[in-house]
């Protein structure tokens, strides 16, 4: 049995060296003792004879302390009292003694010595090789904090220091010297983090000559910011470092003043970046750039700037965001902007990268800056910068501020940036996820925060044509909390098959160009009464499962004349009719583009023809529908097993508002497979802003899975994942096409064998799809389905 007797804060008064005013006067001290003993017999007999009598100990210790008028130091008195108790009270097996003074130094109201001593040396007693000199509640005023407002004035911090005192050594570290060294260092320094401050204080203390021979002894530093979080009395950190560790530790970089930056630049020295080093030239940093243009051919300006960045040996453009059109901020009387973000790797420092961006703006693209926030050919801003270790670099000088000081007030920067980063990526200064900052902006509902997502679809002369989407976070659509609906009208894609074996129309338009053109005219006449734009999707190769595939030459004979006829027809409004080609062959896609197609609709997602992505990349004004499927035309119907598998190569980001049920498992697996195809596309030069996603209704999916995908479309639209190599894919803001028209699963539900009888039910499915977030619906009966789309838009998107 191990028992303890406690004496708490026994008051004794004596001189222990200089007081707060450096005078030798008696000081009130507080003595606490924890004595290990065995009082089992005293408890059994209820008799003090067999235990430590704390009253006697208090009296005798008091007499002992009063036997001298000056003990010289707190440490000497502590050691002396310890020796007295252990010598005069044999019932004390071990002793933990704390002797405290509250008047030992004007900066601290709690200086104490903690000593542990014992009689036994067996394994039951864990005796440290050192005692402790403790300096607590050391209150200092310093400049510290990562928030910009924190850097406007100093704030209070408290430090608790525990300094080792070897047991066989009479003298401990000098209290006054330690406090003065720490005060001088902290109050004349500037830090971003308490972590850097704590470690820096430990290093300052360890440099005292007293610790020269005690290199393996630890120094313990605790730092508390008193006013950091108003709902607490303080927040902070503590660290324990050996003297030897601290000697080999680089001194933490301290935030310099502007004049220190200027002095460093004049001497051509390396400028510190707020506590984090930029990677050396043989490694690669990561930077995020925002771009914007509102003068001339905006998209061409952006593409030229990206090409110029890629031409630098010190820069690699890794990925691009979607394209966004935004109204000008600050100065309103100018054209709307095309905006977006880039993720790059660079061996340049932030300031060197800034110089490179300005060269592209002013020297290469001839930007003329008449005033701040005015029109510009191109604007390249450094938004974030991460060093080679992935740590954020923070800069605030007269040349550059990183993170960008206006990042959190600009949706046209935050929105594209959030496409390129994982959802858990936090702002280096606010320590909040950037997606949370974006959501706060979205909730404000300001007109200047309204963005339109643009997808290029060909050009008219020098003007690029775009499909326009406005993705916004919506709640309540069919109970979904992840639905990303659109305040822009849903687009209708009308199917025009030129095949003899079309499952839906029995090949009525095959090899009859007049019939085809007449059909297109009728579709346009009926549909454009309700919609501003219409997509005509021309297909010459049936893609139903197990269907025979024509040769490439035959497919070309079927689709190219049709596309040319539609493109050249004077009765069709060219500004409202967009031509798409439904093909998985790259050569057909290229010839269709030459003939006038502005969209390539590829059911294979580039998996049937490895050259498809190269064709799309070579035609940057053409949109690409990237669809999900498995296998090929002959095997896809058998590949419907979507069992959940453990994939250690990527991390998924799924909202906690969606449960991981068996139904969502299928959709998540489809999301992963689509992410792989997306990644392949962008790695082969396809721009993100060219891509339209398609979950592939009816391809390598059974009826229940088709319904699940439509229900889970919000999950697909919000899906993102990160591979082990750090590459991130997000479907955020990508437009989605859904093509359920006349599919077999609808016929099974309605018991209709004839595909053309399924148009009414198709209208119900596309209405639901729009409610779940579809941006484009692909249909056979455009005339009637266009009406269903119009009603669905009025219901879910609040359009007139």
Enumerate the active-site residues: 367, 376, 379, 381
678: DSSP letter: H
Sign of CA dihedral 355, 358, 360, 364: negative
- Supply the DSSP string of 64-118, one letter for each residue: HHHT-SB-SSHHHHHHHHHHHHHHH-TT-SEEEEEEEESSSBTTBSEEEEEEEEE
Q: What are the Cα distances from residue 491, in Å, to 139, 574, 735?
A: 65, 16, 11
SS3 content of the chain, % helix, strand, coil (to 5): 35, 25, 40
Q: What's the residue count for the chain? A: 800
Q: Quick one: which of 165, 160, 163 has its CA closest to 131?
A: 165
**Structure-block tokens of residue 194:** 């308490």
Pairing of strands 491-497, 534-539: parallel
Between CA 117 and CA 107 the distance in angstroms is 30
Q: Specify burial of residue 676 (Cβ count, 10 A radius: 0-12, 13-18, 19+).
A: middle
CB 592 within 8 A of CB 581: yes
Q: What are the Cα distances from residue 598, in Å, to 5, 320, 332, 367, 467?
A: 88, 21, 33, 31, 11
Between CA 219 and CA 185 the distance in angstroms is 17
User: How many other CB atoms are there within 10 angstroms of residue 227's CB atom?
Assistant: 14
Q: What is the dihedral of CA 475, 477, 481, 487, to 10 degrees?
A: -50
Between CA 710 and CA 772 the distance in angstroms is 7
Q: What is the dihedral of CA 522, 526, 529, 531, to 10 degrees?
A: -90
Helix then strand count (H, E) for the chain reads 21, 31
CB 317 within 8 A of CB 309: yes
CB 527 within 8 A of CB 785: no
Q: What are the Cα distances from residue 672, in Å, to 591, 635, 664?
A: 32, 20, 12
b/e per residue, 396-428, with b = 16+ CB within 10 A?
Answer: bbeeebbbbeebbebbbbbbbbbbbbbbebebb
Residue 579 bridge partners (DSSP): 536
Residue 222 bridge partners (DSSP): 160, 238
- Supply the DSSP string of 714-765, one letter for each residue: HHHHH-EEEETTS-EEE-TT--BEE--TT-HHHHHHHT--SGGGGHHHHHHH
How far the first Cα of the chain sits from its last, in Å, is: 84
């Amino acid at each position: 049995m191990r028992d303890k007797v406690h004496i708490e804060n026994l008051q004794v008064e004596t001189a222990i060296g200089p007081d707060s005013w450096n005078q030798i006067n008696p000081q009130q001290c507080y003595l606490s003792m924890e004595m290990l003993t065995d009082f089992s017999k005293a408890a059994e007999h209820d008799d003090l004879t067999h235990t430590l009598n704390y009253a006697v100990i208090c009296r005798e210790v008091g007499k002992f302390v009063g036997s001298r008028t000056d003990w010289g130091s707190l440490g000497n008195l502590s050691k002396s009292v310890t020796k007295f108790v252990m010598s005069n009270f044999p019932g004390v097996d071990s002793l933990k003694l704390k002797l405290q003074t509250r008047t030992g130094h004007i900066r601290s109201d709690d200086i104490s010595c903690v000593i542990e001593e014992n009689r036994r040396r067996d394994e039951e007693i864990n005796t440290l090789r050192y005692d402790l000199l403790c300096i607590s509640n050391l209150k200092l005023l310093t400049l510290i904090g990562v928030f910009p407002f924190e850097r406007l004035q100093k704030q209070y911090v408290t430090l608790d220091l525990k300094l080792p005192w070897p047991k066989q050594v009479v003298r401990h570290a000098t209290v006054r010297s330690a406090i003065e060294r720490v005060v001088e260092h902290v109050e004349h320094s500037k830090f971003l983090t308490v972590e850097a401050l704590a470690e820096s204080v430990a290093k300052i203390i360890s440099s005292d000559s007293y610790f020269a021979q005690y290199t393996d002894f630890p120094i313990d530093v605790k730092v508390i910011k008193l006013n950091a979080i108003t709902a607490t009395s303080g927040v902070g950190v503590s660290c324990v470092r050996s003297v030897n560790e601290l000697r080999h530790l680089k001194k933490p970089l301290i935030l310099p003043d502007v004049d220190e930056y200027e002095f460093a630049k004049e001497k051509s020295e390396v400028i510190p970046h707020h506590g984090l080093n930029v990677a050396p030239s043989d490694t690669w940093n990561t930077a995020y750039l925002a771009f914007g243009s509102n003068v001339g051919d905006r998209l061409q300006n952006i593409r030229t700037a990206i090409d110029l960045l890629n031409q630098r040996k010190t820069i690699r453009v890794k990925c691009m965001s979607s394209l966004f059109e935004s109204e000008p901020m600050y100065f309103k009387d100018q054209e709307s902007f095309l905006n977006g973000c880039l993720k790059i790797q660079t061996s340049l420092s932030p300031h060197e990268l800034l110089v490179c961006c300005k060269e592209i703006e002013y020297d290469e693209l001839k930007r003329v800056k008449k005033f701040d926030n005015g029109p510009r050919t191109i604007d390249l801003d450094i938004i974030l910068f991460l060093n080679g270790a992935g740590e954020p670099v923070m800069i605030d000088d007269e040349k550059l501020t990183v993170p960008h000081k206006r990042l959190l007030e600009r949706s046209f920067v935050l929105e594209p940036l959030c496409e390129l980063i994982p959802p858990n990526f936090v702002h280096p200064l606010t320590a909040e996820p950037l997606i949370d900052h974006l959501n706060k902006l979205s909730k404000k509902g300001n007109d200047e925060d309204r963005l339109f997502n643009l997808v290029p679809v060909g050009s008219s002369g020098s003007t690029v044509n775009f499909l326009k989407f406005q993705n916004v976070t919506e709640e309540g659509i069919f109970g979904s909390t992840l639905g990303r609906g659109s305040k822009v009208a849903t687009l209708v894609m009308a199917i025009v098959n030129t095949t003899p074996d079309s499952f839906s129309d029995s090949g009525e338009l095959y090899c009859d160009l007049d019939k085809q053109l007449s059909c297109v005219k009728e579709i346009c006449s009926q549909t454009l009464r309700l919609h501003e734009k219409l997509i005509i999707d021309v297909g010459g190769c049936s893609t139903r499962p197990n269907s025979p595939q024509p040769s490439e030459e035959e497919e070309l004979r079927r689709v190219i004349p049709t596309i040319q006829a539609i493109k050249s027809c004077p009765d069709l409004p060219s500004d409202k009719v967009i031509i798409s080609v439904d093909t998985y062959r790259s050569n057909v896609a290229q010839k269709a583009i030459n003939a006038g197609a502005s969209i390539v609709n590829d059911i294979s997602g580039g998996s049937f023809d490895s050259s498809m992505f190269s064709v799309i990349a070579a035609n940057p004004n053409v949109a690409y529908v990237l669809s999900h499927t498995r296998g090929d035309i002959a095997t896809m119907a058998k590949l419907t097993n979507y069992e959940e598998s453990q994939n250690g190569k990527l991390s998924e980001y799924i909202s906690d508002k969606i449960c991981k049920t068996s139904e969502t498992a299928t959709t998540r697996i489809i999301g992963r497979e689509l992410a792989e195809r997306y990644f392949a596309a962008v790695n082969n030069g396809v721009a993100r802003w060219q891509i339209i996603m398609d979950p592939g209704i009816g391809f390598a999916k059974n009826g229940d899975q088709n319904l699940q995908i439509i229900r889970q479309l919000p999950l697909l639209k919000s899906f993102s994942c990160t591979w082990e190599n750090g590459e991130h894919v997000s479907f955020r803001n990508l437009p989605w096409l859904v093509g359920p028209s006349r599919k077999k699963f609808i016929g099974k539900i309605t018991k209709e064998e004839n595909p053309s009888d399924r148009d009414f039910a198709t209208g119900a499915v596309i209405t639901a799809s729009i409610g779940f977030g579809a941006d484009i619906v692909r249909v056979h009966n455009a005339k009637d389905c266009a009406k269903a789309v119009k009603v669905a838009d009025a219901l879910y998107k609040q359009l007139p």
